[in-house]
Structure 1
């Protein structure tokens, strides 16, 4: 991220017309960028080998040496004639970056690119890291090739030739790298954290996917429904997620008087939209969906010992049914057992365990 930041700042100032007049300041900015990028990249690659450790005191050299070179170039190299000073600066920077490219290659070759594991998840992580480091290392090699191109292309003042023929190459490389990072967020998050984010995201995905039909299978002939379809279709998945959220994370469905109008009011979605969802994008009616949610709640209460101290009538009331008979009929129709049979079976299994 520091590398990205310094690069972005550099291109920002290059783009300012007034700043281009102060060419010496821009050279200092470039010098800082080209002296810091390779050491930071090397430390990043090194961190991949031992991700759970902090930087040690030996790593300080990778911060100290660029500072020393920065001071050396500014105080001593600038004492030469402008052309000679620029050439010396160019050679020093080229050799400096080349040394770090070799160091990075050696550490990647030995510890990252050949890393394998018999554990599938770890091996998947290794493959991901390998692909990312291929891209990043290749990117820095291209930057060094650009240095060589500069060296060959310009005889005089080749270190500092800001022309449209050259500058766009570096800009394009950085843009491609930025896009690659955005396209693959695991590069930013790291594999483990990215997987956790996926798990967190999945909590908000549709749970009852056997009930819902995201693509409409029933043809719409009603003129009013045809008009509604255009408004509702882009929001179908969002509507379903909200309906499930209220079903699974709130007690709303367990109110005896709960109706589709109450669901509409709670979600702040027109009743006609909710009705459309259950008519064209659900395999069951709203009332059947409500029964499934309530029976699911009843099963959870039974398994948590509710019937040890309460009656089945109170279980029916707790889950929002108006009577024992309605609860009994719905429970047996969905589960295949009566509530008492399910309780006895669950109790027997618990005793066996």
Structure 2
């Protein structure tokens, strides 16, 4: 008899311990999230990877984690998950994540009123649940229907985000602002968020299935440790990625340090080292064997010339001049920029020029010179093309960049 009573007690203790571990992890996650959100907020003007939508998502997740964990751990007893219905605001995260991707990929910095249409359904959902709860009509059947709606809503925005990613980053030569700034790092960041979003969607689906099977309504409380782990992964990713946390200036500093240490590495983050599997013509397919055999050496030669000699400061600098400098056939360079670089040569040159301009600004070039002089120094023939390229690659006009 005692043994029969002991087993359920042991199971309850294990469940309680898992819940407590999850709550402690949530508490740490919330504190870490507020710290990182504050850092992003202070660097938002010079960080093109940060916009209102990302800040909203991180701030909501941080506050939610803090409020929930502090209540269940007994740190505070005033605000629980039903207070103000703040838990239901999680529905706003998923269109926000899609809009975050969209604004970066489409190089949109201005506020778009049409974006607010994505929040109509979450607002109606939130108000409906609040009203039904106040009137006492929030039965288990109604909650079950809301559960299913919740899942299909986040699945819809997950699919939209994946489609946007495929159309922008998996095409042969994506030209989003995102790629031109941080290349592979940015793509990996977007892909990472998509994986996180997918995991959250799967978690919701599993919980709904379990609740429907057992005939209970857990309120998505099951597997809270998994939620905490997933959210913690986001903040850890930000901590170990200075180019995302602090913006392009941090990336420039890291690239400069790498270049000073050795010329034996690939510094720029726009290269594709994998061997292409599809070619536009037979000639390219035959040439790939020669190019890929010593691809890294060729890329290092390109970087050594353009970064050390700063040939891009010559407005007439073209791929033919580069071929003569690196002593490679022009056909090899054309192939490399076609199949192994995320940017065609003209865009590659502009990227180098804008990074050079950022570096000069940070060194105080504009204290004694004008922006027109800066544009000519880095290799542009006039101010207008410099302005357009600068805003595309940094997300800011030269004047606004200087003010930061």
Q: Name the TM-score, length of structure 2 as normaliser.
A: 0.43
Larger radius of gyration: 1
Indicate the structure whose relative CO is greater, using CA pairs within 8 Å and at least 6 residues apart: 2
